[in-house]
Amino acid sequence: MTFLMDFHIAFLMQPVPLYPLLAGFTVGILAEWFDISTHYSMMMVMFIASTQLEVLVACFSKKHQAIAITLNFHIMPKPLEYFCYFLCVICPFIACGWFHSTHLSEKDQWDFIEQSFPEHLRGFKSIKHFDIYIQSLSITLCMICVIVGGLVLFLLFLIFITDTFRMMNQLKPRVLGTMTDIHLTHLMQPVPLYPSFAGYTVGILAEWFDISTHVSMMTVMFIPTFQLESLTLCFAKKHQAIAITLKYHIVPKWFEYFCYFCCIICPIAVCIWFHTTHLSKEEQWKYIRESLPDYLEGF
């Protein structure tokens, strides 16, 4: 939509204001090739700009509601959602229709020039496509409503994006905790042996598959690390998609690939490092006999 607006103003319209009058003319493709008046080009600008803002807010609204439904929090009622979609469709047409109603006919414009600016009459006759707007209550109210509507959309955009980030802070522990919860509560079921830096497991992995507590602990370390990296990468991809569009804050490809490499290697490196700290069974029994002889029978 931004490209469409830029293309329309820079090539199709090419507006030239006639300051200090509320007037102007166009020298773009629409005027020179298709004889389309400045007034209709202005209506296109209003329509594209309002639609662009509405689409932007609607996109963030959909993302906000997707997270809201997941958290069952700040869910917008369906009637209100459909009413907002209806307003998004109807408002650009209302704004353009209202603006069109303020347009003077060609005869009224020439009468206004002859009465108010007779010294510029010859200059206006040399301009092929121009339009003049006389300041009135209708055009003033129209401009006020357009500005207020833009501010409301901008405020909604800020509300959606702020609340989305706030909800994502609540969603992050749920996303990160799903696999870890399954592992801890069903597969592992750890039991700490306080005050020793020790513990044992009674879950499915231990009872059914005879997998040691140490391997289960390595799995616990691997899953949250991988999930945190995945979450960060998702935001990084979205950030870069916007950055490439704006040609701003683009991460170099070599650095991006290096980050991918780190995301793969770091969980493995952490788990291997943790594994190197593991004592053999003989060393564990020796430590218990020397340091905790009272608990030998219990172990």
pLDDT in tens, 218-274: 888 888 788 788 778 878 887 888 888 788 888 898 998 998 898 889 989 988 998
User: Residue 220 has what pLDDT?
Assistant: 81
Range 138-149 average pLDDT = 89
Q: How many CB atoms lie within 10 A of CB 244?
A: 12
User: Residue 30 has what pLDDT?
Assistant: 87
User: Residue 83 has what pLDDT?
Assistant: 92
User: Residue 63 has what pLDDT?
Assistant: 80
- Quote the Cα angle for 90-94-95, to 5°: 120
pLDDT in tens, 163-220: 877 776 665 555 555 556 666 666 777 777 766 778 778 778 888 888 888 888 888 8
C-alpha 271, offset from chain centre: 34
User: Residue 86 has what pLDDT?
Assistant: 92
Question: What are the residue boundaries of the structural domains of the chain, listed by start?
Answer: 2-170, 189-295
Which residue matches tokens 């290096």?
258
Gyration radius of the chain's alpha carbons? 33
Say whether the peptide bond before residue 224 is cis (omega within 30 degrees of 0).
Answer: no
Which tokens in the block code for residue 291?
């340091």
Summary count for the chain: helices (H), strands (E): 11, 5
- Is 21:114 a contact under the CB 8 Å cutoff? no
- Is 205:255 a contact under the CB 8 Å cutoff? no
pLDDT in tens, 52-99: 888 888 888 888 888 788 778 888 888 988 998 999 999 999 999 999
- Is 102:133 a contact under the CB 8 Å cutoff? yes
Q: How many CB atoms lie within 10 A of CB 184?
A: 18
Amino acid at 1: M
SS3 category, 203: coil
pLDDT in tens, 95-114: 999 999 988 888 888 888 88
User: Residue 66 has what pLDDT?
Assistant: 81
Say whether the peptide bond before residue 17 is cis (omega within 30 degrees of 0).
Answer: no
**CA distances for 257 relative to 81, 251, 253, angstroms:** 41, 10, 6
Please name which of 238, 65, 82 lies closest in space to residue 164, comparing C-alpha atoms: 65
β-partners of residue 199 are 192
Helical (H) or strand (E) element with 199: strand 199-201
Query: What secondary structure letter does DSSP report for 130?
Result: E
User: Residue 258 has what pLDDT?
Assistant: 92
**How far is 28 from 16, CA to CA, in rounded Å?**
10
Q: Which residues contact 260 (CB under 8 A, 6 or more apart)?
A: 233
